[in-house]
Structure formats: structure tokens, C-alpha cells
């Protein structure tokens, strides 16, 4: 029997999504001064230990998890968590909470490792795991339409994911010091694809 059981009823805020949103918000409020920017005293004290640092320059294994709960600004956390909720609720409702959370953390860890191998800068943010969720949405619901924000053009999920993957690859190769972790995003996509194939997950209706 499959150890991962799907949820039996649909929820707009399934448990995994709900607790990820809560814990990201707690970490953000504890580490970032939302009024003037920069770290809070606790954030300054913890930053060397919970930000994902380069190999040989402060790296510690637990940072591959803690970095996912850190964000640099309100805009950074808002758009990451908005995307997590929009795309993640469909995946958690389809797969079940346990599989969803295992997938989320493995794609986030894989994204962090991709970044460390290909870029020497510290990194924070849930973006790598969120890109993994986006990849899962594109594979599970390839023909659902997503409306882009800028410009507001509807596009099938499979093309939306392919476009973002291509953009992250091009930007990662051409903007290594842009301040955006393009290779972490790409790593989330790659690890997500590998996991879905290893777990032999089929999209609904197949």
C-alpha cells in the first residue's frame, strides 16, 4: 500500500499549506524589522546560523532547511507565500499532506544544494521549494490556465512552467551576481521533476 494517502476532502487551506504559511510568517516577524528594514536583534544573532552559507564559509547542514523560512522583505515573503498557496493547495489536496510536505522540503533542500554548487553567495527564501510546487502543478494540471500578472495573459500551466524554467536557466547563466537565486529556482524545478518520476505519480485522469 502507498504510504502517502491523498486527502479525503478538498480544503482551501489544507494543513501543510496552513502551517507553512504560519511558520514562514513567524520567522519573518522574528528576524526582519518590517518597519525600517534590516534584521531584528534576534535576526542578527541567528543569521550566521540559519542563512544558507557557502560550503567552507559557515555552512551547516540544518541551514538547508532553515533558509527556506527566511525572507529579506515583505514583498519577498508575500509573493513566495502567495504562489505557495495558489499552486500548493491543489497539489496538497491531490497528493495528501504527508507527500506534499516531503516533496516541499526535498525540493527546497535540493534547490539549496544546486545554489551552493553553482553560486558562492548566501541565500534565503522559499523560492526553490515554491518552484518545485509550480513544477508539480504544471505536471499534474498541464492544461489548466494560469493568468500571468504582468502582462495579464492566460497561459496553460505546462507552458507557464516551461517558460519559467527557461528564464531561470538563462538568467542564472547571465546574471550570477544579480542577487536573485536563479539556480536555486532551477534546482527546485529539477528536483521536483526527479521526485515525481521516481514516485511514479500520474496526473489525474491517467
Break the chain into its structural domains and give their ranges: 15-198
What pairs with residue 192 in β-bridges?
none
Region of poorest pLDDT, from 21-25, 50-54, 119-123: 119-123
CATH code of domain 15-198: 1.20.1540.10
Give burial (CB, 10 Å; 0-12/13-18/19+) of 59: middle
Task: Check pLDDT > 80 for residue 154.
Answer: yes
- By three-state DSSP, how is residue 99 classified? helix
Contacts of 52 (CB under 8 A, 6+ apart): 59, 63, 64, 66, 67, 112, 115, 116, 122, 123, 124
User: What's the DSSP call for residue 147?
Assistant: E
Band of the pLDDT at 206, cuts 50, 70, 90? low
Q: Which pLDDT belongs to residue 184?
A: 87
* Rounded Cα distance, 68 and 52, in Å: 9
Band of the pLDDT at 152, cuts 50, 70, 90? confident
pTM over 0.95? The answer is no
Band of the pLDDT at 60, cuts 50, 70, 90? very high
Task: Check pLDDT > 70 for residue 179.
Answer: no
* Rounded Cα distance, 48 and 151, in Å: 39
Amino acid at each position: 500500500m502507498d504510504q502517502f494517502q491523498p486527502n479525503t476532502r478538498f480544503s482551501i487551506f489544507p494543513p501543510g499549506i496552513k502551517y507553512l504559511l504560519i511558520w514562514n510568517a513567524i520567522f519573518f516577524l522574528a528576524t526582519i524589522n518590517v518597519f525600517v528594514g534590516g534584521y531584528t536583534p534576534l535576526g542578527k544573532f541567528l543569521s550566521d546560523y540559519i542563512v544558507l552559507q557557502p560550503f567552507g564559509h559557515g555552512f551547516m547542514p540544518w541551514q538547508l532547511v532553515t533558509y527556506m523560512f527566511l525572507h529579506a522583505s515583505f514583498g519577498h515573503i508575500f509573493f513566495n507565500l502567495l504562489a505557495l498557496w495558489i499552486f500548493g493547495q491543489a497539489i496538497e489536496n491531490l497528493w495528501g499532506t504527508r507527500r506534499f510536505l516531503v516533496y516541499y522540503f526535498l525540493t527546497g533542500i535540493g534547490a539549496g544544494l544546486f545554489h551552493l554548487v553553482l553560486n558562492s553567495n548566501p541565500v534565503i527564501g522559499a523560492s526553490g521549494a515554491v518552484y518545485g510546487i509550480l513544477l508539480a502543478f504544471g505536471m499534474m494540471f498541464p492544461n489548466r490556465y494560469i493568468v500571468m500578472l504582468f502582462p495579464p495573459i492566460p497561459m496553460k500551466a505546462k507552458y507557464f512552467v516551461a517558460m519559467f524554467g527557461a528564464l531561470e536557466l538563462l538568467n542564472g547563466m547571465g546574471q550570477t551576481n544579480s542577487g536573485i537565486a536563479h539556480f536555486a529556482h532551477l534546482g527546485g524545478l529539477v528536483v521536483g521533476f526527479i521526485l515525481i518520476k521516481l514516485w511514479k505519480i500520474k496526473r489525474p485522469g491517467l
